């Protein structure tokens, strides 16, 4: 078990076979539906994992920060959308990126567009952020007055071509079954197609970009859309499993944690693995409580199915507490390792700052790279 022997402290294991299958499945779906898959790379933030996407023919990507755009541009990605509201304080960095690659920015107001027109000489392409019901940011698709103003501003900014409307139906994360996801997705499709109908006379090339992981995993209708931008699907996690976006066996990452103490009186196991490794994202339980992960046995081939009635129930900075049953308690030993499926793989990967594949290879994560 060479990959297990390397482990002395909490380590993020990555099952390459599962991740590549997740990528291939989504790439196939996009192909089948004639939409471009522009995956969101904020989940993995790794140049090596990026290569697995290239192997499936992916050439354009999404990121959520200028830093991520710089990182992936450095590693050969030539077409990058920053799906985050324009951060005006990073204008010099955006200008530099725009000289290197095809850079697509996201704006949330007419004011953003006039700012770009007045301050950015280098050409960028512009997505207008549409709010289809999530309510985080963007212009509500019903607010045609605001949209008219934005497109009027864009018409005066030919140096920064208008690409179309970009939406993120993040409220799909609050769904708890496929029907709820499908309903949110259909509403998004309807609202986005209405935008196209309204504006495609003046803007015949106008594109529509959507794509959260739940909707892209569960649904099969993308009619009228030009591209999808799911991200989490490369690894999935317990939250996506709860939502019904994935099976437990589609989860491609697990945190290997040393067992450091046993408490047989309460069937609790203390792990070296806390909130600085997992994040504090929690999975609501039927009894009103929350858990921070499910426990899987580690094997020479990776990990097995979650142990029944066993979960990571509490986190402090470096400690995790696993609660199990009297029957399973004897499986744990001090000095041993257990795996934990994370609730939110994006945050866990960001905290863990790198990966160990089941073949013993170390892969980088942007958050572990100095000077970035």
Examine residue 88 and tell whether it contacts a second copy (CB under 8 A).
yes
Contacts of residue 288, defined as CB under 8 A and 6 or more positions apart, other chains included, come to none
| Choice from 13, 321, 322, 341 touching a second copy (CB under 8 A) | 321
Count of beta carbons in the 10 Å neighbourhood of residue 135: 10
Using CB under 8 A, which residues numbered 254 to 283 contact a second copy? 258, 260-263, 266, 270, 272, 275-276, 279-282
> What is each CA distance from 211 to 40, 88, 132, 291, in whole angstroms?
9, 25, 12, 27
Binding flag, residue 62, a second copy (CB under 8 A): no
Residue 37 or 282 with smaller CB distance to a second copy: 282
Is residue 255 a contact partner of residue 279, using CB atoms and an 8 Å limit?
A: no
Interface with a second copy in residues 105-124 (CB under 8 A): 108-109, 111-112, 115
> How many Å from the N-terminal Cα to the C-terminal Cα in the chain?
34
**3-state class (DSSP) for residue 295:** strand
Contact flags string 138-177 toward a second copy, x per CB under 8 A: --------------------------------x-------
**CA distances for 230 relative to 29, 71, 223, 261, 343, angstroms:** 12, 19, 17, 39, 17
Both tokens of 275, joined, read 């909130």
| Residue 11 Cβ vs a second copy, minimum distance, rounded to whole Å | 10
**Cβ pair 322, 291 in contact under 8 A:** no
Kindly tell me which of 101 and 262 has the beta carbon lying closer to a second copy.
262
Asked if residue 281 lies in contact with residue 331, where contact means CB atoms within 8 angstroms, the answer is no
Alpha-carbon gap, residue 345 to 45, rounded angstroms: 12
Q: Is 212 in the site for a second copy (CB under 8 A)?
A: no
**Binding letters toward a second copy, positions 7-26, x by CB under 8 A:** xxx-----------------
Rounded least distance, CB 298 to a second copy, Å? 13
Can you tell me which residue has the tokens 């094997």?
299
User: Measured from the CB of residue 32, what is the shortest distance to a second copy in angstroms?
Assistant: 29
Encoded one letter per residue, x for contact with a second copy by CB under 8 A and - for no contact, window 220-259 reads --------------------------------------x-
List the structure tokens of 241.
């499993």
The radius of gyration of the chain from alpha carbons, rounded to an integer in Å, stands at 22
CB of 130 to a second copy, least distance (A): 13
Residue 90 burial by Cβ neighbours in a 10 Å radius (0-12, 13-18, 19+): middle
State the minimum distance, in angstroms, from the CB of residue 83 to a second copy.
Answer: 10
- Does position 67 interact with a second copy (CB under 8 A)? The reply is yes
Nearest to 360 by CA among 51, 45, 11: 11
The site for a second copy (CB under 8 A) is made up of 7-9, 42, 64-67, 84-90, 93, 108-109, 111-112, 115, 135-137, 170, 258, 260-263, 266, 270, 272, 275-276, 279-282, 314, 316-319, 321, 334-335, 337, 346-347, 350-351, 353, 367-370
């Amino acid at each position: 078990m060479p990959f297990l022997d390397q482990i002395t402290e909490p380590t993020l294991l990555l099952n390459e076979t599962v991740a590549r299958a997740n990528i291939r499945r989504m790439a196939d779906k996009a192909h089948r539906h004639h939409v471009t898959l522009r995956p969101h790379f904020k989940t993995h933030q790794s140049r090596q994992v990026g290569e697995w996407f290239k192997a499936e023919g992916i050439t354009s990507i999404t990121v959520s920060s200028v830093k991520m755009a710089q990182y992936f541009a450095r590693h050969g990605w030539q077409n990058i959308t920053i799906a985050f509201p324009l951060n005006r304080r990073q204008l010099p960095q955006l200008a530099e990126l725009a000289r290197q690659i095809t850079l697509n920015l996201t704006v949330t107001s007419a004011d953003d567009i006039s700012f770009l027109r007045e301050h950015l000489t280098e050409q960028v392409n512009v997505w207008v952020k549409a709010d289809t019901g999530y309510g985080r940011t963007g212009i509500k698709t019903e607010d045609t007055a605001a949209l008219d103003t934005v497109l009027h501003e864009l018409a005066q900014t030919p140096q920064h071509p208008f690409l179309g409307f970009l939406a993120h139906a993040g409220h799909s994360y609050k769904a708890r079954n496929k029907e709820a996801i499908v309903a949110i997705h259909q509403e998004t499709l309807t609202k986005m197609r209405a935008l196209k109908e309204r504006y495609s006379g003046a803007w015949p090339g106008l594109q529509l970009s959507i794509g959260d992981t739940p909707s892209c995993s569960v649904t099969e209708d993308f009619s009228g859309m030009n591209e999808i931008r799911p991200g989490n699907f490369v690894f999935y996690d317990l939250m996506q499993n709860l939502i019904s976006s994935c099976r437990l066996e589609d989860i491609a990452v697990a945190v290997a944690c040393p067992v450091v103490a046993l408490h047989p009186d309460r069937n609790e196991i203390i792990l070296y693995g806390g909130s600085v490794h997992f994040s504090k994202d929690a999975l609501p339980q039927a009894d009103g409580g929350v858990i921070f992960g499910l426990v899987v046995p580690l094997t020479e081939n990776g990990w097995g199915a979650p142990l029944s009635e066993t979960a990571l129930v509490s986190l402090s900075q470096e400690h995790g507490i696993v609660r199990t049953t009297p029957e399973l308690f004897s499986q744990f030993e001090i000095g041993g390792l257990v795996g934990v499926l994370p609730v939110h793989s994006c945050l866990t990967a960001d905290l863990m700052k790198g990966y160990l594949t089941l073949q013993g290879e170390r892969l980088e994560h942007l958050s572990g790279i100095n000077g970035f």
